Structure 1
Amino acid sequence: MQLYNKLSAEERRVLIREAGKERLTISFYQYHNIGNPQLLRDHLFLHWHPMDVLGRIYVAHEGINAQLSIPADRFEEFKHFLDHINFLENVRLNIAREHDNESFLKLKIKVRNKIVADGLEDATFDVTNKGIHVNATSFNDLIEDPDTVLVDMRNHYESEIGHFKNAWTPDVDTFRDSLDYIEDKLKDNKQDKKLVMYCTGGIRCEKASAYYKHKGFENVYQLEGGIIEYHRQVTEQGLENKFKGKNFVFDHRLSEKIGEEVIANCHQCGEPCDTHTNCANDACHLLFIQCDSCKEKLENCCSEECNDIIQLPYEEQKALRAGHYNSNNIFKKGRSEKLAFKKS
């Protein structure tokens, strides 16, 4: 009985290309009290592995958060499986507008303490007591209301390449950083303002909306389905698109184009650019914005130093990495001192 992925990313890439099938990139979440997350985790793997599902899925006592890809011709089979899990019946599936057959290359299903890390230890906080969900039409109306405070619940590196008109984009590194920071900034407007939030697919806003209701905010709204669902609705219904730039996504694509504007710049030369990359030096792997010219000049590295390292034989590179951890650099996500034009 196989309960874990056994193929490398490169082995899986070859199989995907040989199969020649179109794949769909999908995300969904659901907050629900799950008694035995490990049991659910194993159940999902046993059924999804034969369907050729790939992706990153977190299961916790508070629910499930899934970002995955699946062969398009098995979508109905996948949906049928979800509908036979009571709390996932008719769950909203956010299907990406821009597809990449290699958006995910492994099936990773992990049990976590929470599906969204929030740093909260408040037993009286009910994550299911959420705010009002609004569709794209209502959202467009709300964000033009002078009594609305529109808040981007994503992190700085996400909002840097794209955000909504009139949005406040807090300069935070993580979701947990944003909760108390936003409450403190808006503490005098808990009754007189409409707090409207958005994020990538809705999962962070759903928890945040419940949290801010718990903290005394009276008029709390969230964009249902997040930016992904908003993009689908404005495209299919011919609505005005109030999103500028790209939507950052957490798979190999790194972003989806939503608006026509390029609102960011290359972190190395300052030219207009909104394409994220990871430094080619595995000891660094820093996430940053890099234009094609700088990519060619520095061979996909964030600095001359890293470029020098990738010229070394592999075994020398491996020896340099020994005993060192690059998690701090990865976490900085564009804040490295090596980048002359990083967002300040």
Structure 2
Amino acid sequence: MQLYNTLSAKERAALIEEAGQERLTISFYKYAHIGNPKIFRNHLFITWNELDVLGRIYVANEGINAQLSVPAENFEAFKEHLDSISFLENVRLNIAIEQDNMSFLKLKVKVRNKIVADGLNDATFDVTNKGIHVGAEKFNELIEDPDTILVDMRNHYESEIGHFKNAITPDVDTFRDSLDIIENDLKEHKEDKKLVMYCTGGIRCEKASAYYKHKGFKQVYQLEGGIIDYTRQVQNNKLENKFLGKNFVFDHRRSERISEDIISNCHQCGKPCDTHVNCANEACHLLFIQCDECAAQMDNCCSDDCKKVNALPYEEQKKLRKGKGASNKIFKKGRSEVLKFKQ
């Protein structure tokens, strides 16, 4: 019984290219009680592996958080399988605005303590007492209301390349960092303002809205389906798009363009740019914004030191990495002293 990947990302990419079949990039989440996450994880892996599903899926006692790619021809079979699971029947699927057959190259289904690392003790508040879910049209109305405070629940490297106009964008590295910061900054408005939140697909707001209601905020709203579904509703219903720039996504695409606005800059030269890359030096792998000119000049690296390492023969690079842990810069996405124009 196969419960793990047998192909490398490179081998999988070659097979996808050879097949020439359209794939759909999809995300969904569901909070639900899962008695044995490991058994559930194995069931998903066995079934989805047969359907050629690829992606990153987290399973925990509190539910499931999935970002994946499925062959278009297998979508109906995939949906039928979801509907056969009681708590996933008719779950909302966020289908990517921009499709890319290479968005995921492995199937990874992992058991975690939580499906989102929020740092909260769920036993201390009612996680089911959530905020009011609103669609794109109502969301547009709310964010034009002077009594509304709009908050981006994502991290700094996400909001840097795209966000809703007039949104508060906390300068944080993780979701858990933002929760107390936002509460403290907005504590004077718990009674008189509408707190409206959004994130990529809705999952972070799901828990945050209950947390902020527990903390005393009286009017709490969240964007149903996040930026992904907002964009689809705007397109389908011909609504005004109030999102500026790109939506950061957690797959090989890294982002989806929502508007033509470029609101960020190259971290190396400062010119307008919103293209995230990873440093070509595998020992660094820092995520940062780099324009085409700097990519050519720096050999796709974030610094001169990384450029020197990356120029070495591959075996020498492996020797340099041997016995060393991953650079902390990997976990400080977009933050490094070598990035002169990081805002």
Same fold (TM over 0.5): yes
Aligned to 2:104: 104
Q: Indicate the residue corresponding to 1:77 in structure 2.
A: 77
Partner of residue 239, structure 1: 239
Greater shift, 263-272 or 127-136, is seen at 127-136
Match status 1:126 vs 2:126: yes
User: How much has 1:97 moved relative to structure 2?
Assistant: 1.1
Matched residues in 2 for 1:316 and 1:238: separation? 55
Aligned match of 2:180: 180
Identity of aligned residues (%): 76
CA offsets 1:168-189 (integer angstroms, 9 cap, x no match): 0011110000011111111111
Alpha-carbon distance in 2 for matches of 1:325, 1:225: 37
CA deviation after TM superposition for structure 1 residue 121, in Å: 2.5
Secondary structure in 2 matching 1:28: strand
Tell me if structure 1 keeps the 8 A contact 2:283–2:327.
no
The answer to whether structure 1 residue 315 and structure 2 residue 315 are counterparts is: yes
Alignment match, 1:168:
168
Query: In structure 1, what residue type is equivalent to 2:177?
Result: D
Normalising by structure 1, we get a TM-score of 0.98
Aligned residue in 2 for 1:258: 258
Deviation string for 1:124-180 (max 9, x for gaps)? 223222111000000000000011000000000000000001100011110000011
Is residue 116 of structure 1 aligned with residue 108 of structure 2? no
Q: Report SS of the residue matched to 2:319.
A: helix
Tell me, in whole angstroms, the C-alpha distance in 1 between the residues paired with 2:104 and 2:310: 25
Given that residues 31 and 127 in structure 1 are in contact (C-alpha distance below 8 angstroms), is that contact kept between their aligned partners in structure 2? no
Q: Provide runs of 4+ in structure 1 moved above 6 Å.
A: none
Equivalent AA in structure 1 for residue 198 of structure 2: Y
Residue 27 of structure 1 aligns to a residue whose secondary structure is strand
Give 5+ residue unaligned stretches, structure 1: none
Alpha-carbon contact 2:303-2:338 (below 8 Å) kept: yes
| TM-score of the aligned structures, taking structure 2 as reference length | 0.99
Matched residue of 2:267: which SS?
A: coil
SS at match of 1:49: helix
CA distance in 2, matches of 1:313, 1:260: 40
- Give me the whole-angstrom Cα distance separating, in 2, the residues matched to 1:228 and 1:10: 28
1:189 corresponds to = 189
Aligned residues: 343
- Deviation at residue 328 of structure 1 after TM alignment: 1.3
> Post-superposition shift, 1:122?
4.6
- Partner Cα distance (1:252, 1:224) in 2: 25
1:292 is matched with which residue?
292
**Helix, strand or coil for the counterpart of 1:261?**
coil
Measured after TM superposition, the shift of residue 210 of structure 1 is 0.9
1:1-344 to 2 correspondence within 5 Å? 1-343=1-343
> C-alpha separation between the residues in 1 aligned to 2:75 and 2:139?
29
Supply the RMSD in Å over aligned alpha carbons.
0.8
- Deviation per CA, 1:66-95, whole angstroms, max 9, x where unpaired? 000000111111111000100000000000
For residues 52 and 122 of structure 1, the distance between their equivalents in structure 2, rounded to whole angstroms, comes to: 35
Residue type at the aligned position of 2:290: Q
Q: Deviation of residue 327 (structure 1)?
A: 4.5
